[in-house]
Amino acid sequence: MSRIPTPATIDEAPEASRPILETIQKQMGSVPNIFRLVSNSPAALTGLTSLQGALGKGKLPLATRERIALAMAEANGCDYCLSAHTFTGTKFAKLDESEIAANRSGTSNDPKAAAAVEFTRALTVARGSVAPAEIAKVRDAGYSDAEIVEIIAHVALNTFTNYVNEALETEIDFPRINRAAA
């Protein structure tokens, strides 16, 4: 059970959060617990879904976005996010088991994607204070300046969801995946 109440239904959520939850319900067929929990703050839910929506229209393909999320979840120790992104990475981004394992360990089987995932890991470990060589490496792999900014934006987005899920112990509503032993 989470550390703060998770509205069991859309009607139990704050009124200002309900339209967003209804949209999620229509898009996904259900409302994952992360959105239910964050709906306690309509402002936070709006921020989360707005950033997700904007980045979903960005330059990075879904597979790269899922790889970033998997690397972040493992690095930050978020079992909820590992479970959610293993599910979505497999089902929607068509990542295989080997690729998911590589992403969780901070790399990729695809050379270009490896640069993005390794940059993600460097950003996470250094809390953003990466060396110029890290930027050069991701640029040399073929990422544009816009894509580099988007990678950083995905790191920020996933940091938020990782922290919410870990701090508030969001109940996992995806097939459970546990982080690797440290």
- Convert the pLDDT of each residue in 36-67 to its tens digit: 999 999 999 999 999 999 999 999 999 999 99
Q: Is the pLDDT of residue 182 over 70?
A: no
Cβ-contact 12, 37 below 8 angstroms: no
Question: What domains sit in the chain, N to C, each tagged with a CATH number?
Answer: 10-56 (no CATH), 62-168 (1.20.1290.10)
Q: Is the pLDDT of residue 19 over 90?
A: yes
Cβ-contact 125, 135 below 8 angstroms: no
Q: What is the pTM of this model?
A: 0.94
- 143 is written with which tokens? 């990422």
pLDDT at 8: 95
The label of the residue with tokens 């112990």 reads 169
- Percent of the chain exceeding pLDDT 90 equals 96
- Tens of pLDDT along 53-112? 999 999 999 999 999 999 999 999 999 999 999 999 999 999 999 999 999 999 999 999
| Displacement of CA 182 from its chain's centroid (Å) | 21
pLDDT at 178: 83
Q: Is the pLDDT of residue 153 over 90?
A: yes
pLDDT at 138: 98
Task: Spell out the SS3 assignment of the chain.
Answer: CCCCCCCCCHHHCCHHHHHHHHHHHHHHCCCCHHHHHHCCCHHHHHHHHHHHHHHHCCCCCHHHHHHHHHHHHHHHCCHHHHHHHHHHHHHCCCCCHHHHHHHHCCCCCCHHHHHHHHHHHHHHHHCCCCCHHHHHHHHHCCCCHHHHHHHHHHHHHHHHHHHHHHHHCCCCCCCCCCCCCC
**Cα angle 35, 67, 102; round to 5:** 130
